[in-house]
Amino acid sequence: MFKVKVYVTLRESVLDPQGAAVTHSLQSLSYHEVTDVRIGKYMELTIEKSDRDVEEVVKEVCDRLLANPVIEDYRYEIEEAVAQ
Amino acid sequence: MKFAVIVFPGSNCDVDMYHAIKDELGEEVEYVWHDTENLDQYDGILLPGGFSYGDYLRTGAIARFSKVMQEVVKAAKAGKPVLGVCNGFQILLESGLLPGAMRRNESLKFICRPTQLKVVNNETMFSSAYGDGERIQIPIAHGEGNYYCDEETLERLKANNQIVFTYENNPNGSLENIAGVVNEQGNVLGMMPHPERAVDELLGGADGLKLFQSIVKQWREANVVKA
């Protein structure tokens, strides 16, 4: 079994209105060193071992559903969970 | 002409769409549930607004994989008119029937009010009843209507005259004031404003009616032999 962490964020070229609002809010709290915030999504997937390569499955589900490639990028971390 | 109004869990403009077709346009219309596997009997497909599947993950992202969408794609490929309004537009974007994606409104607020639109292309099957450059008033109601596509796609949209409606006063940050686009073949239209909410003066305006009349006119000319 695999535990997979998927991070989906808006592409650099796409303006993130939520991130911009949070950046502005942090600066109004005097955190002037914070110059940018990008807001994204974090997902945890549990994937059973199968005859398919787990990374191939993860990429496929990200491309097909979890992220929209028109505006979003994703990255992931795959951990093999040891059965208890 | 017989229309299908596709109903997803969370659709909420389906009744308005049905009313517009049946009572104002005077054409046949049926509600079609999202697990329907055959749309052959319908001449036009309408994807109404709402919050299909609670807008989970992304607007339209889950609805795009419902059974009926394979049939919608089939209908689109066959050249039938497919209209997606608001969440319907978002579903068409997610399904790849139309290019681009929606971001949250620039203001981060849900905006619900009448907007002035310009008919940029009145040579589509959805806009032929309007004048060239006609200004019309159609209401919007959305939190994610901030249209985006990359530059290459935008150039293609312009070169093929695929931008049908633009906002006169951009309410949401949408790229190039885009309010509605068609596919290259011209038979799939997605738009954020709600024409089905502007079909009777009693509702504050009837500028949306011409859109539906355009569809019917085109269909009659193509399918009904003159007596």
A15 to chain B, any CB pair closer than 8 A? The answer is: yes
* A-interface mutation test, from B53, B93, B148, most A Cβ less than 10 A away: B148
Range of the domain at A75: 2-14+40-80
Total domain count, chain A: 1
> What single DSSP character describes residue B164?
E
> In the predicted model, what is the mean pLDDT of residues B138-146?
97
> In the predicted model, what is the mean pLDDT of residues B100-110?
95
- Res B57: pLDDT: 94
The answer to whether B190 touches B84, Cβ cutoff 8 Å, is yes
Domain spans in chain B, listed from the N-terminal domain onward = 2-223
Q: What CATH number has the domain bearing residue A64?
A: 3.30.1280.10
In a domain, A10, yes or no: yes
In a domain, A23, yes or no: no
- Res B226: pLDDT: 61
Catalytic residue, chosen from B19, B27, B86, B94, is: B86
Active site residue B86: yes
Asked whether the predicted pLDDT for residue A3 surpasses 60, the reply is yes
Q: What is the pLDDT of residues B25-70, one digit of tens each?
A: 999 999 999 999 999 999 999 999 999 999 999 999 999 999 999 9
B227 to chain A, any CB pair closer than 8 A? The answer is: no
- Res B52: pLDDT: 96
- Alpha-carbon distance A19 to A6, whole Å? 19
Round the average pLDDT of chain B to a whole number and report it: 96
The pTM (predicted TM-score) of the whole model is 0.93
Distance from CA of B29 to the nearest CA of A (A): 32
- Res A83: pLDDT: 64
Q: Which of A65, A66, A71 sits opposite B103 (nearest CB)?
A: A71
Residues 6+ apart with CB under 8 A from B4: B29, B30, B31, B32, B39, B42, B44, B45, B46
- Res A15: pLDDT: 87
B110 to chain A, any CB pair closer than 8 A? The answer is: no
Domain boundaries B2-223, CATH class: alpha beta
In a domain, A24, yes or no: no
Asked whether the predicted pLDDT for residue A53 surpasses 60, the reply is yes
Residues 6+ apart with CB under 8 A from A64: none
- Res A84: pLDDT: 59
Q: Which of A71, A51, A52, A79 is nearest to A8 (CA)?
A: A71
Q: What is the pLDDT of residues A42-52, one digit of tens each?
A: 999 999 999 99
Which ipTM did the prediction report?
0.84
A61 to chain B, any CB pair closer than 8 A? The answer is: no
Active site residue B19: no
**pLDDT band at residue A82, thresholds of 50, 70 and 90?**
confident
Q: What is the pLDDT of residues B149-199, one digit of tens each?
A: 999 999 999 999 999 999 999 999 999 999 999 999 999 999 999 999 999
In a domain, A56, yes or no: yes
Q: What is the pLDDT of residues A4-39, one digit of tens each?
A: 999 999 999 898 888 999 999 999 999 999 999 999
